[in-house]
A and B are shown apart, each in its own frame.
Chain A
Amino acid sequence: MTTASSADHPTRRDFLFVATGAFAAVGGVASLWPFVSQMNPDASTIAAGAPIEVDLTPIATGQDIKVFWRGKPIYIMNRTKKQIDEARQVPVASLPDPATDQSRIKEGHDQWLVVIGICTHLGCIPIAYEGNYDGFFCPCHGSQYDSSGRIRQGPAPANLVVPPYQFVSDTKIQIG
């Protein structure tokens, strides 16, 4: 349709075709948005993902608990003196994902390690107090994390993620 036989206004005709085509294309793409957006978490899921509070009093030194926030398991570990020392003595530069232990805990609450218990390799749940580093061992592909939740060995590329949280009181934290 490039040669117009009724060539009285060839440019106006082309403009009309381009305008209609462009309008259809833009409108078509815009109308796809609801079909994509509906895949996002719905309002009740978002509301259920509100911050939670966790009481730390039942967790003795050397113990840990697992709580769920937004469907993710969160390890809250009351570390022993030995675990803290191990985490702080290792040279930071030698780590695959360098980070100090201090940067991964809240100051003044040095014994508490709070990490999302999802292996950064492919999403399995590491087991606490297993592996060679007094931390976590992922049974899926053998990644090992230390007592600060940092990757030490295995295929995982990064340290266990520290979720957003703060201490509401000395014995209570709010996650989220």
Chain B
Amino acid sequence: MSGPSDYQPTNPLLMWIERRLPILGLMHSSFVAYPTPRNLNYWWTFGAILSMMLALQILTGVILAMHYTPEATLAFHSVESLVRDVNYGWLLRNMHAAGASMFFLAVYIHMFRGLYYGSYKEPREVLWILGVIIYLLMMATGFMGYVLPWGQMSFWGATVITNLFSAIPYFGESIVTLLWGGYSVGNPTLNRFFSLHYLLPFVIAGVVVLHIWALHVAGQNNPAGVEAKTEKDTVPFTPYATIKDMFGVSCFLIFFSWFIFYMPNYLGDADNYIPANPGVTPAHIVPEWYYLPFYAILRSIPNKLAGVTAMFSAIIVLAFLPWLDSAKTRSSKYRPLAKQFFWMFVVVCVLLGYLGAQPPEGIYVIAGRILTVCYFGYFLVLLPLLSRIETPRPIPNSIADDVLAKTGSKATPMVSSVIMLALAGTLFAGSVQNARAEDEVPPSQSWSFAGPFGKFDRGALQRGLQVYKEVCSACHSLNYIAFRNIADPGGPGYSEAQAAAFASDYKIKDGPNDQGEMFDRPGRPADYFPAPFPNEQAARASNGGALPPDLSLITKARSYERGFPQFIFDFFTQFQEQGPNYVSAILQGFEDKVPEGVTIPQGSYYNKYFPGHSIKMPKPLNDGQVTYSDGSPATVAQYAHDVATFLTWTAEPHMEARKHLGLQVFVVLIIFAGLMYFTKKKVWADAH
């Protein structure tokens, strides 16, 4: 398509360069003059969105690597320091973490678009296979990136995924040892994953160049699925496609920003705010959402090797798609049966994703097996069969004809997809009822910091700090909070002098001095809250064998299931307060009378909201225990509310800055998207 460029720069310097390296001509023929089908719809903007996401992930990733320490004892800490202390560190981390999800979301839309419009068919097979390779590389990169924060899910995700390779006969164990660099997942594993996580995005970028090259040789597919024949079928890439892509990108950025600024932990797992612990596996070990369908396939098969093989086959089968579906008609628009089955396949994938997040028991296993059969059936049976028996509707003669015909038939109701969605809905609802053994869920409280404009109640933060200092700090550390933090903007609102005075009440171990001895000195603002116990063993010895967890991140590290469909509503209402609800509920959930059927071991206590109900911590707060100077009621409910507020701040000291900047970004992005919309309309006015 893009032959030798006729691009001729007029500037003498550019001419001088162009004669020696025709890079400007290459750019011009690839991104300016390049003919693009005039009937592309907005699903085609996801190519540009993905390019933008790759660039953004590389940019934020390179920056995060400037502040990250790939060492097992420091990795978790370095991520927290980056979020708390580095200028805009919280923003960069949220962008990178949510960015991974957005990248996968965009790539799934891009792949489903290719599937629907037959973009893998002759002559675009290599283009499609390169795409599958990019997808595989993305999965590897995303997985290794998730390991880097070295939380519980990082560690156990790394353990489970690397163990997949142990299913390989004869060589499995050796391969796993090779991946680990040790006898188990540990520091060498983290180091090599960091190195590879830094490398692979650039490999992806390289394959993306091949992908775009192959695209520009074959030319873009389009919704009609007929090749461009004449000038009338195409428009130049610039300005038409560039403007349209930029409008798509600006809309996508609005969606992306919702996660960055308002729901940064919505797609993550609370367990990953607990530092990696090789001795305890989290109760529900679940990968990130974008791997869930494949995880569901893995778990559906009760044989190790077969399960792993099925999981990898589910991805590899995509590479054979051009030969499995041999139908001559590309676009499903003109394939009445393929269209119906395409939407069923989408539903199958979504349901597999849902099942991947559920515990592997009961109805979920059966449903998982049925859907796994459906998944492979679609590729291996249905598509080959359809391409032989289906009678396609007539396709338009040319793209220009398709554009002219467009005004007529629109929005034929997709009966089968509606039925499938309804079916899916009932399955969801049924499974929800089936699953929940009636556990007490912490009641939702009203928090001043909830919602897009939420701010901390300074009084509650100060009272919470008092409760922590007088009660909680006897057993619980607060390792990530320095005394200086209580004077930070968006915090409890003390002055720097007050913070210094607060610090000087503490004795901090320092040294060694010139004599080589450690000594105590009064605290300074730069010091961190001292831990009540010198080490884990001492903490356990004083607490009946249990380790009182560090409280800095507790409101992010504790959560509970919201269930379907509540978790979907939460996305729109920005509900993020499981953590404070849980902390507050635990503090008020102690009951002397143990209900029937529950046995509490010696040295433990009954708590209504604690998972399993048996907690080692005795009831920590009683009415009147802490005397407030501002006249707030001295009740357990008030204490619990205040300390939960305080611990929400310690978990995310920049929450107010996040929501404040979010509002500004939203205003700017919405105006920009509006301007882009009208610009796009103006530019395209000539083309229609």
A residues sitting closer than 8 Å to B (CB atoms) are: 1, 5-6, 13, 16-17, 19-20, 23-24, 27, 30, 34-35, 37-40, 42-45, 47-48, 50, 58
Instruction: Give Cα A38 to B66, complex, Å.
Output: 10
* B77, chain A: closest CB distance, angstroms: 11
Other A-B pairs, 15, CB within 8 Å; known A1-B683, A40-B87, A44-B526:
A5-B686, A16-B675, A16-B682, A17-B682, A23-B675, A27-B668, A27-B672, A34-B87, A34-B88, A37-B88, A38-B87, A43-B484, A43-B488, A44-B81, A47-B526
Contact partner of B672 among A17, A23, A38, CB < 8 A? A23
Closest residue to B661 on the A side, CB-wise? Answer: A34
Instruction: Give Cα A50 to B89, complex, Å.
Output: 22
Contact partner of B86 among A1, A5, A38, A47, CB < 8 A? A38
Structural contact, A19 and B675, CB atoms closer than 8 A: yes
CB neighbours of A19 from chain B (8 A): 675
Instruction: Give Cα A42 to B89, complex, Å.
Output: 9
Structural contact, B85 and A50, CB atoms closer than 8 A: no
Instruction: Give Cα A166 to B678, complex, Å.
Output: 64
Q: Which of A19, A38, A47 is the most central at the interface, judged by chain B CB atoms within 10 Å of its CB?
A: A38
B525 interface residue (CB < 8 Å to A): yes
Interface of chain B residues 671 through 688 with chain A (CB within 8 A):
671-672, 675-676, 678-679, 682-683, 685-686
The 6 closest A-B pairs by CB, nearest first: A34-B88, A47-B526, A42-B85, A43-B85, A20-B675, A37-B87
Structural contact, A44 and B525, CB atoms closer than 8 A: no
Contact partner of A50 among B87, B92, B514, B524, CB < 8 A? B524
Contact partner of A35 among B63, B81, B84, B679, CB < 8 A? B63
Q: Which of A24, A27, A30, A34 is the most central at the interface, judged by chain B CB atoms within 10 Å of its CB?
A: A34
Instruction: Give Cα A120 to B581, complex, Å.
Output: 58
CB neighbours of A50 from chain B (8 A): 524-526
Structural contact, B679 and A44, CB atoms closer than 8 A: no
* A78, chain B: closest CB distance, angstroms: 17
Instruction: Give Cα A112 to B363, complex, Å.
Output: 82
What are 25 A-B contacts defined by CB distance under 8 Å?
A: A1-B239, A13-B682, A16-B682, A17-B682, A19-B675, A20-B676, A23-B671, A27-B668, A34-B87, A34-B92, A35-B63, A37-B87, A38-B86, A38-B89, A38-B92, A42-B67, A42-B86, A42-B89, A43-B84, A43-B86, A43-B488, A45-B85, A47-B482, A50-B526, A58-B514
* A48, chain B: closest CB distance, angstroms: 5
B553 interface residue (CB < 8 Å to A): no
Structural contact, A16 and B678, CB atoms closer than 8 A: yes
CB neighbours of B89 from chain A (8 A): 38, 42
Could you tell me the dominant secondary structure of chain B's interface residues?
Answer: helix
Interface of chain B residues 338 through 386 with chain A (CB within 8 A):
none
CB neighbours of A13 from chain B (8 A): 682
Binary interface encoding of chain B residues 657-678 relative to chain A, with 1 for a CB under 8 A from any of its CBs, else 0: 0000000000010011001101
How many B residues are at the interface, by size bracket? 20 to 34
Closest residue to B81 on the A side, CB-wise? Answer: A44
CB neighbours of B482 from chain A (8 A): 44, 47
Closest residue to A5 on the B side, CB-wise? Answer: B686
How many A-B pairs have beta carbons closer than 8 Å: the answer is 70
Closest residue to A8 on the B side, CB-wise? Answer: B685
* A26, chain B: closest CB distance, angstroms: 9
CB neighbours of B686 from chain A (8 A): 5-6
CB neighbours of A23 from chain B (8 A): 671-672, 675
B274 interface residue (CB < 8 Å to A): no
CB neighbours of A45 from chain B (8 A): 85
Q: Which of B87, B524, B525, B685 is the most central at the interface, judged by chain A CB atoms within 10 Å of its CB?
A: B87
CB neighbours of B678 from chain A (8 A): 16, 20
B59 interface residue (CB < 8 Å to A): yes
* A8, chain B: closest CB distance, angstroms: 10
B241 interface residue (CB < 8 Å to A): no
Structural contact, A47 and B679, CB atoms closer than 8 A: no
CB neighbours of B85 from chain A (8 A): 42-45
Instruction: Give Cα A5 to B86, complex, Å.
Output: 52
Structural contact, B81 and A42, CB atoms closer than 8 A: yes
B54 interface residue (CB < 8 Å to A): no
CB neighbours of A30 from chain B (8 A): 668
Closest residue to B239 on the A side, CB-wise? Answer: A1
B148 interface residue (CB < 8 Å to A): no
Closest residue to B678 on the A side, CB-wise? Answer: A16
B91 interface residue (CB < 8 Å to A): yes
Instruction: Give Cα A19 to B679, complex, Å.
Output: 10
Closest residue to A48 on the B side, CB-wise? Answer: B526
CB neighbours of B675 from chain A (8 A): 16, 19-20, 23
Interface of chain B residues 208 through 257 with chain A (CB within 8 A):
239, 246
* A69, chain B: closest CB distance, angstroms: 13
Q: Which of B524, B679, B683 is the most central at the interface, judged by chain A CB atoms within 10 Å of its CB?
A: B679
Structural contact, B679 and A16, CB atoms closer than 8 A: yes
CB neighbours of B91 from chain A (8 A): 34
Closest residue to A21 on the B side, CB-wise? Answer: B679
Instruction: Give Cα A20 to B85, complex, Å.
Output: 35
Instruction: Give Cα A24 to B680, complex, Å.
Output: 14
Closest residue to B90 on the A side, CB-wise? Answer: A34
Structural contact, B682 and A38, CB atoms closer than 8 A: no
Instruction: Give Cα A58 to B515, complex, Å.
Output: 13
CB neighbours of B87 from chain A (8 A): 34, 37-38, 40, 42
